[in-house]
Amino acid sequence: MQLQAPKGMKDVTPKDSYKWQAVESLAREICASYGYYETRTPVLEHTELFLRGVGDTTDIVQKEMYTFTDKGERSVTLKPEGTAGVVRMFLENRLFSEAQPTKMYYLYCPVFRYDKPQAGRFREHHQFGVEVFGAPRASADAEVIALACTLVGRLGVEKLSVNINSIGCPECRTTYNDALKAYLRENYNSLCETCKTRFEKNPIRILDCKEERCQGIVADAPKVLDFLCEDCAAHFEELKSCLDALDIAYKVDPMIVRGLDYYTKTVFEIISTEGAYKGTVCGGGRYDNLISELGGPEMCAVGFGMGMERLLLVAESFRQIPAPRPLDVYVAAVGEAARAQGLRFAAQLRKAGVSAEFDHVGRSFKAQFKYADKLGARRVAILGEDELLRGVVKLKDMAGGGERELPLEDAAGIINVIAVNETF
RNA sequence: GUGGGUGUAGUUCAGUUGGUUAGAAUGCCAGAUUGUGGCUCUGGAGGUCGUGGGUUCGAGACCCACCACUCACCCCA
């Protein structure tokens, strides 16, 4: 028995979950303000969906998928990204027949990729993502970028860079690929081995190569942006003016090439430049052909995926996420009769919306106080033999150290004392 | 997939050229008023020294293999 999570997978312990919840509730709040609704789709999909959706020449599909055969001999795959499943959901539920656009988000969506873990890279990670279907105008692209920036900004992350690019539609990309290959042909022998194979298969990926020699060659290569057709160029201009209108600072980076095959026109990345993780925190773009390629109607789409682990890493290096006060009242009771009364009292408090804890260990008064202190309880309600006889409960304020005695019957008065944020 | 680093109490780490019973801090539990937290003091529990081989009279230390973690490359969020 190996008492260890699978390689590259992490637990969220009860002590840390508040950080995730903080990010999640912020994301929900922001999405609601932008008019996005949550969608939830299975962790597993038929393998075919990703082969066709993500693209079978990508690294993700070729070597990183958790694919297996289930007991019914079906090939299924743990989601390697969020978009394909949402498109499937959209088509299966025929949401395309509703009024468009359809604006959706997903949160804490588990994503699996079989690669070697390192800082900010896991075999299972979780994405917050957003998809807008049926919104052709670039203002949708800008809205999605703005939403991502709002979340990251609200978390206090200051050092980041919004990089945008356009990789055009299939038409302009063919023209561009020809031009790129013509340019690269002269330097073909100087390219790294991987790039040599990319040359025929997917030359645009060479732009993304981190090898120094390839970067040198690629620096003066023709830019996709110069080959955009009229429509794509207009779309890119519209995006830029929308971002300007929203006061979002961005950088045009003609070298952005995303790792998923479905992108058209807009691609973007939000990159953290400082903190515990440096690199892409959010990546997305437009994918106008994916819905039809998966068997749906001609319908455009734009969206992004954001790595929540990365987001958290970065956010925490700028600002501590405040831990919520865990407990209003610790009910300390010793003696069987008092314990019975205390158990009831704790239940009454909870019913009134006051969080309460009760001793289940059988500790001494002293130990119960110590424990209450450790929990960060604001008040301790004391119920011992003495109080029981007199029908009262003592209420101690842990910060001030003072005590008040209240009749046990007067629940409302007790709640009031507890609820008021005073020190005594 | 390629390459580096690291594995010793729950946690962070000491552990001499290989030599008796493997330590500290912190955390946990208890006690210092038989009903009161934080501070202090005292005590206690807690370790197959990552696993398996090997060298040796003797291995936590040296060698080999494996495993895990970690970092970088690749790729990505």
What's the CA gap between A351 and A189, in Å, rounded?
A: 75
Q: What pLDDT, on a 0 to 100 scale, did the predictor assign at position A383?
A: 94
- Extract the tokens encoding A275: 């903190």
Whether A276 CB is under 7 Å from strand B? no
Is A101 strand, coil or helix? coil
Q: A366-404, pLDDT tens digit by residue? A: 999 999 999 999 999 999 999 999 999 999 999 999 999
Residues 221-240 of A with CB under 7 A from strand B: none
Average pLDDT by stretches of 10, chain A with 424 residues: 83 91 97 98 95 83 90 95 96 96 97 92 96 98 98 92 93 88 83 75 76 76 90 96 97 84 92 89 95 96 96 90 88 94 93 93 94 94 93 93 90 79 86
One DSSP character per residue, A347-416 reads: HHHHHTT--EEE-SS---HHHHHHHHHHHT-SEEEEE-HHHHHHTEEEEEETTT--EEEEETT-HHHHHH
Measured CA to C1', what is the nucleotide nearest A117?
B70
What's the CA gap between A136 and A101, in Å, rounded?
A: 9
- Extract the tokens encoding A22: 């903080």
Q: What pLDDT, on a 0 to 100 scale, did the predictor assign at position A205?
A: 78
Whether A88 CB is under 7 Å from strand B? no
What's the CA gap between A399 and A393, in Å, rounded?
A: 18
Q: What pLDDT, on a 0 to 100 scale, did the predictor assign at position A105?
A: 98
Distances (CA, A) of A393 to A2, A299, A328, A379: 49, 66, 16, 12
What's the CA gap between A171 and A404, in Å, rounded?
A: 78
Q: What pLDDT, on a 0 to 100 scale, did the predictor assign at position A221?
A: 84
What's the CA gap between A250 and A1, in Å, rounded?
A: 51
Q: What pLDDT, on a 0 to 100 scale, did the predictor assign at position A1?
A: 60
Using a 7 Å cut-off to protein CB atoms, list the covered nucleotides of chain B: 1-3, 28-31, 35-38, 68-77
Query: Nearest residue to B76 (CA, C1')?
Result: A259
